[in-house]
Amino acid sequence: MTKPWFKNLRQIEPYVPGEQSKNENIIKLNANENPYPPSPQVMQALREIRPENLSLYPNSNAQKLVDAIAQYHGVKSSQVFVGNGSDDVIALSFMAFFNSDKPILFPDITYSFYPVWCRLFNIPYETPKVDDNFKIIPSDYYKPNGGVIFPNPNAPTGIGEGKEFIKDILNHNPDSIVIVDEAYVDFGCYSSIELLKEYDNLLVVQTFSKSRSMAGMRIGAAIGNEELIGVLNAVKNSYNSYTLDSVAIECGSAAVNDDEYFKSTLLKISSTRDRVSDIFKKMGFTVYPSQSNFIFVTKNDISAKALFEYLKSKNIFIRYFNLPRIDNHLRITIGTDEQMDTLIKETENYLNGLK
């Protein structure tokens, strides 16, 4: 590289998004998408978009969606921030809240984007190890730090923690912003939103991509005290005033307002998850207790990677991570019962073939 302007380029290791197949006949259990469609009211809101919704700028606060989320959670609208997927919300939160010289803390096994944002924004970080059962050890988060973030339930393990665990971390971190990333919380995990009344340094992040079947629409939200939300808005308005388009605002509001559909979808997924977990256990897998829309499994007498490749050859895509400590594990998104039955059948075929 000899071009004179090369020295001004950002030196960055390209982050490669997860594998996408163009084959539409696959069973796609690799991205934690929801197998059920979004609420019919979302599709209705989409059909009602008028040309002027597109030709005019959106409301830069996405006020309609903010109000719907605030009402849903019983908080003030000034406590809610929305962004272009929870990745956008978390990226802006890193810029807004992690400005210390001390390292921020998050588990070694967790959402793989956290260290990517740290490198992008030059934020120092440390990654305390989860224990051998992949549980976060709260006392690792007692030391001085520049902030704390962890998903609850954690990814890619699906393991969730309860109120006392969250309170313990908050009680030991009065000097830091603590972000609880609740991307998968709706599938049966404890939500920290009620703790906002007690802790002004808590920020809860959620997404519409999983439980609300709207990964294609890119909507994430943060809920916290007014002051944190104010700083988040100031940073967002210094980056991009209009992150959410008018269609997302309308469709997102419709999704929040159809709670009955939401709850029925959650019930279907958690019931399928529990059934599939039991069957994988019977097949000899270790299945970690999942409070999410995926299960994390291992079987110490087989190669996870080989099973992953076998299933791929059968057009079933699950997720394999070639990472320390979890390189013999698999993350499987919960699809429909029919999809999971095919997965189970092929997994049995594979295991029988090894005998």
Residues 38-67 that bind its own copies (CB under 8 A): 38, 42-43, 46-47, 49, 51-60
CA distances from 131 to 118, 135, 137, 149, 160 (A): 23, 5, 7, 17, 14
DSSP string for residues in 68-100: HHHHHHT--GGGEEEESSHHHHHHHHHHHH---
Tell whether residue 35 is a contact of its own copies (CB under 8 A). yes
Least distance to its own copies, CB of residue 289, Å: 26
Cβ atoms 330, 318 nearer than 8 A:
yes
Structure tokens at 257: 């307002």
Strand 202-207 relative to strand 178-181: parallel, antiparallel, unpaired? parallel
Among 79, 191, 207, 213, binds its own copies (CB under 8 A): 213
The residue within the footprint of its own copies, chosen from 29, 70, 82, 91 (CB under 8 A), is: 91
Q: Which of 26, 235, 279, 351 binds its own copies (CB under 8 A)?
A: 235
CB 165 within 8 A of CB 180: no
> Are 291 and 160 contacting, i.e. CB atoms less than 8 angstroms apart?
yes
Query: Should residue 28 be labelled a site residue for its own copies when binding is judged by CB under 8 A?
Result: yes
- Residues 31, 195, 302, 344: which binds its own copies (CB under 8 A)? 31
Instruction: Please pick, from the candidates 65, 87, 161, 185, the single residue that binds its own copies as defined by CB under 8 A.
Output: 87
Query: By CB under 8 A, is residue 13 in contact with its own copies?
Result: yes
CB of 247 to its own copies, least distance (A): 5
Residue the block writes with tokens 């997860």: 18
Looking only at residues 162 through 191 of this chain, which bind its own copies when binding is defined by CB under 8 A?
174-177
Nearer Cβ to its own copies (2/352):
2
* Shortest reach from residue 7's CB to its own copies, in Å: 7
Query: Which candidate, 308, 303, 240, 295, places its Cα nearest to that of 83?
Result: 240
Window 251-270: residues binding its own copies (CB under 8 A): 251
**Binding characters for its own copies, 112-141, by CB under 8 A (x = yes):** ----xx-xx---------------------
Of 206, 142, 204, nearest to 176 (Cα)? 142
